[in-house]
Amino acid sequence: MVYHVQFPGLGLEFTLDRVALSIGGFNIYWYGVIIAAGMLLALLYAFRNAVDFGIDSDRLVDVVAIGTVMAIVCARVYYVAMAPFEYDSIWEMIDIRLGGIAIYGAVIGAFVFGGLAAKWRKIPLLPLFDLVALGFLIGQGIGRWGNFVNQEAFGTNTTLPWGMYSEGTEAYLRSVQVTLPEGMTIDPTLPVHPTFLYESIWCLVGFVVLALYVKHRRFHGQIFLLYAIWYGLGRFWIEGLRTDALLIGNTGLRASQIVAFVSVAAAFLLLVSGLRRSAGKPLMVTLAVSDIAKQDKAGSRFTADALPARAPHGEFVAATQAMNARLAALDLDMPEIEELEDPEPEMQPGAGEPAAGEPAPEETAGTPAPEREEAADESE
């Protein structure tokens, strides 16, 4: 499907084809391509900076693979569970090529199942959440442009210069899927808020801010909490403008606004508590050990090094390589050297014994001087 998108206030006009290319009659949509590009950039950032969070990149691969798959699954499940219409078949329910995934479902799935995978692969959980949160802001900021190509995730009418109009927005606003706040009316023929753009800008600005702050974090998990607050505040506002919000049953409450409110409140309380506990303490990051099995066998003979979180990236890389080289060179077949106390010197045979005919030292020392003289006279 091709859309003719206009921004009348800016004098801009675009022609968008939702299909990027076709292979053997199978269409690959720009929506999926853009989502994949956002995920790829997020992964590149995560793998480059994993060492700064004490995370081994090789073990991170497994966690990312599980977290990514479950993020997509949970995003679709979240959307289908709250969609304001019924699907004709199970295949239609699982077909995401036409859109229909919920970001909060993806976030929940990624952190829950990614966290379980991290436990399995022995990756520190809170540093992982900090790193992944930054990656999510990249992926969300870029991925929202998939909504632009699909002409979805837009808002109510606006007279602002960047108001957007297309035959896609008009057709949707005339459909029965529209969800509007009570008392609000909308004209399908007028420009609407490009809320996909608002969220994209909000996420990318959030990434820049948190990426600049990351070296100044005070405790593990702080970046994740700041992400939850930043994204939640923006999503609560933007969701109120949208015409396709997912509702909780027949309550009229917008699911994403409820989730955003709860996440912001909970994250704020945990952030305040964490800052109080970490006051005056520099945050130390335990360096990533590449060979966990050998570390476990080494026991007390090997202790992982740590660096302050403020240390530059290059220092983390060099220190991590040196530490893992030390572990690789460690010979586990060599017995541990234990410190022993110096034993008391043994008495030599005959040492300290009086010669024949000589009085014992104790006796001589204890004999009064006059008696010793008498004894000498008698012997003469």
Task: Give 335-359 pLDDT, tens digit per residue.
Answer: 665 544 455 555 555 555 555 555 5
- Other beta carbons within 10 Å of 168: 20
CB within 8 Å of 253: residues ≥ 6 apart = 247
Amino acid in the structure at residue 221: G
Work out the average pLDDT over 286-294. 95
Q: Decide: helix, strand or coil at residue 62.
A: helix
Q: Work out the percent of the chain whose per-residue pLDDT is above 90.
A: 63
What pLDDT does 355 receive? 52
What pLDDT does 379 receive? 44
Between 80 and 240, where is the model more confident? 240
C-alpha span between 168 and 36 (Å, rounded): 23
Least confident of 29-38, 178-187, 309-318, 343-352: 343-352
For 151, phi and psi rounded to 5 degrees? Answer: 55, 60
**323: confidence class by pLDDT, cuts 50, 70, 90:** very high
Work out the average pLDDT over 359-379. 48
Residue that the structure tokens 């009085």 belong to: 359
| 306 membership: H or E segment, kind and range | strand 306-308
Work out the average pLDDT over 209-227. 97
Verdict on whether the full-model pTM lies above 0.85: no
C-alpha span between 274 and 79 (Å, rounded): 33
What pLDDT does 284 receive? 97
Contact between residue 276 and residue 190 where contact means Cβ atoms under 8 Å apart: no
Q: Work out the percent of the chain whose per-residue pLDDT is above 70.
A: 83
What contacts 24+ positions apart, CB below 8 Å, involve 347-353? none
**Sign for the pseudo-dihedral over CA of 51, 53, 56, 60:** negative
Digit-coded pLDDT (tens) for 40-74: 999 999 999 999 999 999 999 999 999 999 998 89
